[in-house]
C-alpha cells in the first residue's frame, strides 16, 4: 500500500502548490497517494487540477484524490498536513479587525496573539481538534499531524491537551530570519550556524555564529539610525534586540503587537518604527487576488505548471527523514517536556528537533535568559487561557485571555475589554463561527453557573424584636426569610430554620417550603422555637439540602456596653479598620452637654465639603428604646485646620463646640466635641443612651489604604439601633 499524505485546507492553493512540489521532488515520496480535502468544492477542484499538473510536470507516479469528507481524507493517512483558515478572510479576519478598531485597538497581523489571535484560536481549535480525533480513530497507527495553521502555539497546545496525538507545529520564521540575518550581515549562509528557542513567533537567536565566531557584533554594529535602508521594516526587531540582547524570529509587524512598547504609543511611534497597521487585511486581499488569477489559469488552460526548487518549508523534509531514516534538524513547535527549563511544563515551545525514522525528537535547550523567558511567559499566559476557554467552553476565560494580552492591556480599560469581547463573541456566533459558551455574570470574570445562578436565602430577626422592651411570642421568635431566584425559571426549595442562643443549640428546626417565580423574590415570616434571652444573643440558622442555594443566617450579638472607668466618668471606645487599630475615643457628660474626644489615625487628612468625599466622622445618638436617631457629621475645612459639626442637611450646629487638636501620634487628627443633650435628642442628665460612630479615613498609616470603620462593626443600616452600643455614664464599681 502506497504512502498516503493528506492535505486538509487544500484550497490554500499557493501554499499547497509549494508543499506538494516539495514532497513530490523527493524520489522516495514520488509515488505517494496525495489526498486533498477542503470544505469549498470550487477551491478543492482547483487544488486537484493543480496537484495533477504538478504530478504530470514532475513525471512521477503519485496519485491525487480529492474529497469533501474530512474523515475519509484522514483514513489510513500516515501524514496529515493542516493549512486551514476557519472563518476565512470574510467574515473571520474582518471581524477580528473591525470590532477591536471601534474600541481604539489597532492590530497589524492579529493571527497569533492579541484579541485577533484569541478569536482566531477560538474558532480554529474545535476544528483542528476534530481533525486530531479523526487521526486518532482512523488514521494510520503512526500518523503524524503537521500543523501550519495559526495561531500555532494555541492550536498545538489544544491538540496536545485534548487529544494527544503525535504532532508538530511548523513555521518558516526560523529559516527565514536566519537567512535574513546572514544577508544583512553580508555572510555566506552556508557558513552561518545558529541556535534558536522560545515560543512560536517569539523565539530568539540564542546563538548566531559565523564559522564558530559570535556574529552578534555585526548585528549590533548595524543597529544605528540610517542603517541599510532596504531593511527598514526590521526596526521593531532591532529595537527589541537592543533592549533584550537577542534577535527574535518573527517579523517586526508581528513583534510590534506581542509587546506593549509600540502601537499603543500613537502615530509618532508607529511611524518611527514603520509599523503597518491592518497589514493582514491588505495581505488577505492580495492573496485572494492571487488565488483568483491562479484559478483562472488552471481552469482556463491545459498547459503545464511551473514547479520551483524545493523551498525551506520543513514539511517535506520531515516526511522524507521519517520515511528514509535520513537525520535532519528542524525547528518544531512541540509540548515543553523538559525542553526549556524556565517556561511552563506543557506549554508549546519552539526548539531544535532531530527527525529520523524515530519521528520528531525535540532537544533539551535548558533555561532561556530570564528576560526572554519573561517575554515568552507574557504570551503563554494568553495562549493558556484561550485554550482553556476553547476546551472547557468557559466564557470567562475569553475575557481573561484578552485582559492579559500585553498590547490590549496598554490600550483598553477592563470595561472596554469586556464590551469588546462580548461584541466579538456575538458577531462570531451570528456567523456560526463559535459555539455556545457557559455564561458568566455580566461584566465579571466569574461563571454564571454556581455563582450568578445561585438562589439566595437570607433569614433575619425582625428589627422590632431587638429593641429594648419589645414583645415577642411566648418561647418563640419571628424570623423574616427573603429568598431571591435569579434564574429564568421558577424554582421550588425547602429550607430548615432554627433559632439558638449564641453559645448553645437550637430547640428544634422548622421546615419552610417555598416556590419562587423566575427572576423573582419572596418574603416569609416564620415562628421559630426559642426559650432563651435576646439580651444574651441569638443566632438564626438556615440550611438546605440543595447545593443551588446560598444561605445567610443572622447573628444578634449582645449589645456592646460602654461604661466609664471608676472615678473617671468617661466611657472609652476603640476603632479598627480591617483588623488594624484606627482610632480611639471617650464619651461622657458635663452638666447639660455630652463631651466626646476622638483620635483617628488618618495619615492623609483630606478636607471635603460633603460627607465621605474625604476624611470625616458620622455620629448617631438614640434613646434606649430606639424610637428615633439623631445624626451628625464632622467635616474638615480650610486645608484640614478647621472642623465643623453639621446636621444631615449639612447645616452647622451652632450650639456645639468643636476643637481640632494636634494629633498625639502625629499621623492623624484629634477632635473634641461638646453637644447639648437636647441637640442629641436626649434629656439633660440622661445616663443611658445608644450611640454609634463612623470614621472615614483617607489613609491608615503609610502602608494601608483608607476606608470606613464603625464603632458597632456594622455598616449595612445606618439607623438600625439594634447594633448600636449602649453608653452607661455610671462609674464601674
Tens-digit pLDDT profile for residues 685-705: 899 999 999 999 989 877 678
Q: Considering 167, 172, 265, 431, which one is annotated as catalytic?
A: 172
C-alpha cell at 186: 553580508
C-alpha cell at 420: 469588546
Tell me phi and psi for residue 578, to 5 degrees: 55, 35
**In order of start, what are the domains of the chain with their CATH numbers?**
4-169+284-308 (3.90.1820.10), 450-556 (2.60.40.10), 561-728 (2.60.40.1190)
DSSP structure class, residue 639: G
Does 228 score more than 60 pLDDT? no
Does 480 score more than 70 pLDDT? yes
Does 412 score more than 80 pLDDT? yes
The predicted model gives 108-133 an average pLDDT of 97
Does 163 score more than 60 pLDDT? yes
Does 373 score more than 60 pLDDT? yes
What is the pLDDT at residue 503? Answer: 77
Tens-digit pLDDT profile for residues 51-102: 999 999 999 999 999 999 999 999 999 999 999 999 999 999 999 999 999 9
**70, β-bridge pairs:** none
Q: Between 721 and 465, whose confidence is greater?
A: 721
What is the pLDDT at residue 464? Answer: 58
The predicted model gives 198-206 an average pLDDT of 98
What is the pLDDT at residue 468? Answer: 56
What is the pLDDT at residue 35? Answer: 98
Tens-digit pLDDT profile for residues 347-362: 999 999 999 999 999 9
The predicted model gives 334-359 an average pLDDT of 98
Does 430 score more than 70 pLDDT? yes
User: In this structure, are strands 63-67 and 33-37 parallel, antiparallel, or unpaired?
Assistant: parallel
pLDDT band at 474 (very low <50, low <70, confident <90, very high): low
- Tell me whether residue 172 is one of the annotated catalytic residues: yes
What is the pLDDT at residue 227? Answer: 56
pLDDT band at 722 (very low <50, low <70, confident <90, very high): confident
Contact assessment for residue 262 and residue 256, using Cβ atoms and an 8 Å cutoff: yes
Tens-digit pLDDT profile for residues 560-587: 999 987 667 899 999 999 889 999 999 9
Q: What is the DSSP string of 530-593?
A: --S-GGG-EEEEEE-S-TTEEEE-EEEPPPPEE-PPTTT--EEEEEEETTEEEEEEEEEEETTE
Contact partners, residue 700, CB within 8 Å, separation at least 6: 577, 578, 580, 582, 601, 602, 603, 706, 707
pLDDT band at 262 (very low <50, low <70, confident <90, very high): very high
Q: Give the span between the Cα atoms of 644 and 616, in whole angstroms.
A: 10
Give the Cβ contact number of residue 473 at 10 Å.
12
Instruction: State the average pLDDT for the chain.
Output: 91
Does 533 score more than 80 pLDDT? no
Contact partners, residue 98, CB within 8 Å, separation at least 6: none
What is the pLDDT at residue 231? Answer: 65
Three state DSSP letters for 210-279: ECCEECHHHHHHHCCCCCCHHHHHHHHHHHHHHHHCCCECCCHHHHCCCCCCCHHHCHHHHHHCCCCCCH
Amino acid at each position: 500500500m502506497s504512502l498516503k499524505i493528506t492535505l486538509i485546507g487544500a484550497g490554500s492553493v499557493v501554499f499547497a502548490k509549494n508543499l506538494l512540489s516539495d514532497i513530490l521532488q523527493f524520489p522516495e515520496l514520488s509515488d505517494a497517494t496525495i489526498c486533498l480535502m477542503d470544505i469549498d468544492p470550487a477551491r478543492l477542484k482547483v487544488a486537484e487540477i493543480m496537484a495533477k499538473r504538478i504530478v504530470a510536470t514532475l513525471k512521477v507516479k503519485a496519485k491525487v484524490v480529492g474529497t469533501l469528507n474530512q474523515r475519509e481524507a484522514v483514513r489510513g493517512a500516515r501524514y496529515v498536513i493542516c493549512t486551514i483558515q476557519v472563518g476565512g478572510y470574510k467574515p473571520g479576519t474582518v471581524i477580528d479587525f473591525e470590532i477591536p478598531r471601534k474600541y481604539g485597538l489597532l492590530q497589524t497581523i492579529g493571527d497569533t496573539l492579541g484579541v485577533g489571535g484569541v478569536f482566531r484560536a477560538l474558532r480554529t481549535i474545535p476544528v483542528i481538534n476534530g481533525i486530531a480525533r479523526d487521526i486518532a480513530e482512523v488514521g494510520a497507527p503512526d500518523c503524524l499531524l503537521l500543523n501550519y495553521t495559526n495561531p500555532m502555539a494555541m492550536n498545538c497546545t489544544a491538540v496536545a491537551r485534548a487529544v494527544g496525538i503525535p504532532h508538530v507545529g511548523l513555521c518558516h520564521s526560523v529559516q527565514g530570519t536566519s537567512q535574513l540575518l546572514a544577508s544583512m550581515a553580508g555572510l555566506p549562509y552556508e557558513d552561518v550556524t545558529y541556535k534558536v528557542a522560545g515560543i512560536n513567533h517569539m523565539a530568539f537567536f540564542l546563538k548566531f555564529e559565523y564559522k564558530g565566531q559570535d556574529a552578534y557584533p555585526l548585528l549590533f554594529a548595524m543597529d544605528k539610525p540610517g542603517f541599510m535602508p532596504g531593511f527598514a521594516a526590521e526596526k521593531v526587531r532591532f529595537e527589541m534586540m537592543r533592549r533584550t540582547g537577542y534577535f527574535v524570529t518573527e517579523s517586526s509587524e508581528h513583534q510590534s503587537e506581542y509587546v506593549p512598547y509600540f502601537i499603543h504609543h500613537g502615530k509618532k511611534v508607529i511611524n518611527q518604527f514603520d509599523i503597518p497597521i491592518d497589514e493582514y487585511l491588505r495581505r488577505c486581499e492580495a492573496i485572494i487576488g492571487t488565488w483568483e488569477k491562479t484559478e483562472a489559469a488552471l481552469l482556463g488552460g491545459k498547459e503545464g505548471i511551473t514547479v520551483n526548487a524545493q523551498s525551506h518549508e520543513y514539511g517535506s523534509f520531515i516526511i522524507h527523514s521519517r520515511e528514509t531514516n535520513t537525520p535532519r534538524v528542524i525547528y518544531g513547535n512541540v509540548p515543553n517536556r523538559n525542553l526549556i527549563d524556565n517556561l511552563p511544563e506543557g506549554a508549546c515551545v519552539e526548539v531544535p528537533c532531530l527527525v529520523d525514522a524515530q519521528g520528531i525528537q525535540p532537544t533539551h535547550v535548558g533555561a532561556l535568559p530570564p528576560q526572554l523567558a519573561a517575554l515568552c511567559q507574557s504570551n503563554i499566559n494568553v495562549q493558556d487561557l484561550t485554550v482553556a476557554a476553547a476546551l472547557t467552553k468557559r466564557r470567562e476565560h475569553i475575557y481573561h485571555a484578552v485582559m492579559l494580552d500585553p498590547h490590549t492591556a496598554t490600550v483598553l480599560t477592563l470595561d472596554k475589554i469586556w464590551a469588546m469581547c462580548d461584541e466579538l463573541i456575538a458577531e462570531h456566533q451570528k456567523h456560526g463561527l463559535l459555539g455556545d459558551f457557559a455564561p458568566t455574570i455580566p461584566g465579571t470574570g466569574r461563571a454564571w453557573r454556581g455563582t450568578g445562578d445561585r438562589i439566595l436565602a437570607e433569614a433575619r430577626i425582625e428589627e422590632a424584636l431587638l429593641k429594648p422592651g419589645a414583645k415577642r411570642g411566648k418561647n418563640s421568635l419571628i424570623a423574616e426569610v427573603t429568598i431571591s431566584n435569579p434564574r429564568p425559571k421558577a424554582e421550588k426549595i425547602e429550607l430548615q430554620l432554627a433559632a439558638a442562643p449564641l453559645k448553645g443549640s437550637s430547640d428544634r428546626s422548622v421546615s419552610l417550603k417555598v416556590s419562587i417565580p423566575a427572576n423573582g423574590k419572596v418574603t416569609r415570616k416564620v415562628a421559630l422555637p426559642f426559650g432563651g434571652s435576646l439580651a444574651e444573643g441569638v443566632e438564626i440558622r438556615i440550611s438546605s439540602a440543595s447545593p443551588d442555594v446560598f444561605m445567610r443566617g443572622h447573628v444578634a450579638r449582645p449589645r456592646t456596653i460602654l461604661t466609664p472607668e471608676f472615678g473617671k466618668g468617661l466611657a472609652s471606645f476603640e476603632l479598627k479598620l480591617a483588623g488594624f487599630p484606627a482610632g480611639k475615643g471617650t464619651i461622657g457628660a458635663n452638666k447639660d452637654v455630652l463631651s466626646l474626644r476622638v483620635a483617628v489615625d488618618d495619615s492623609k487628612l483630606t478636607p471635603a465639603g460633603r460627607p465621605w468625599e474625604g476624611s470625616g466622622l458620622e455620629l448617631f445618638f438614640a434613646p434606649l428604646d430606639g424610637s428615633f436617631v439623631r445624626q451628625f457629621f464632622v467635616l474638615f475645612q480650610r486645608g484640614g485646620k478647621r472642623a465643623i459639626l453639621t446636621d444631615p442637611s449639612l447645616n452647622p450646629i451652632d450650639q456645639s463646640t468643636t476643637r481640632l487638636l494636634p494629633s498625639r501620634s502625629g499621623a492623624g487628627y484629634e477632635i473634641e466635641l461638646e453637644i447639648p443633650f437636647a441637640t442629641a435628642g436626649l434629656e439633660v442628665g440622661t445616663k443611658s443612651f445608644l450611640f454609634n460612630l463612623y470614621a472615614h479615613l483617607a489613609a491608615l498609616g503609610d502602608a494601608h489604604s483608607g476606608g470606613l470603620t464603625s464603632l458597632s462593626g456594622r455598616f449595612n443600616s445606618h439607623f438600625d439601633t439594634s447594633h448600636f452600643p449602649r453608653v452607661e455614664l455610671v462609674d464601674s464599681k
